[in-house]
Amino acid sequence: MMRSHTEGYSMEYTTLGKTGRKVTRIGFGGAPAGLKDYLESYDPDDATDREKTVAAVARAVELGITYYDTAPGYGNGKSEEIFGEALDGVDEDSIFLATKIAPDDPDATRASIEQSLRRLRRSRIDLFQIHGTAYTLAHEEGFFRKGGMIEQMERAREEGLTRHIGFTVEAINETTLRLIKCGRFDTVQLAYNIMYQHPCDPYWKYGTMYDAEAQNMGIVVMRTLTSGLFQRWIKTVNPENTFDYSEALAQFVLSNPLVDVALLGMRTVETVEKNVRICENLAGRIDMDEFHRKYPAIGPPRG
Looking up residue 164, the CATH number of its domain turns out to be: 3.20.20.100
If pLDDT is split at 50, 70 and 90, which confidence band does 301 have? low
Q: At what angle do helices 78-87 and 47-62 cross, to 10 degrees?
A: 50
Distance of CA 136 to the CA centre of its chain: 22
Region of poorest pLDDT, from 45-49, 194-198, 266-270: 194-198
Residue 300 inside a domain? The answer is no
Q: At what angle do helices 137-144 and 174-181 cross, to 10 degrees?
A: 20
Could you give the C-alpha distances from 216 to 17, 219, 258, in angstroms and in order?
5, 9, 11
pLDDT digits (tens, 9 = 90+) for 159-173: 999 999 999 999 999
Residue 32 inside a domain? The answer is yes
Residue 93 inside a domain? The answer is yes
pLDDT at 5: 64
Q: How many domains are contained in the chain? A: 1
Give the pLDDT mean for 108-121.
97
Residue 277 inside a domain? The answer is no
| Contacting residues for 255 by C-beta, under 8 A, at least 6 apart | 285, 286, 287, 288
Residue 231 inside a domain? The answer is yes
Residue 111 inside a domain? The answer is yes
Q: Is the dihedral of CA 62, 277, 167, 209 positive or negative?
A: positive
Instruction: Give the domain range for residue 168.
Output: 2-272
pLDDT at 155: 97
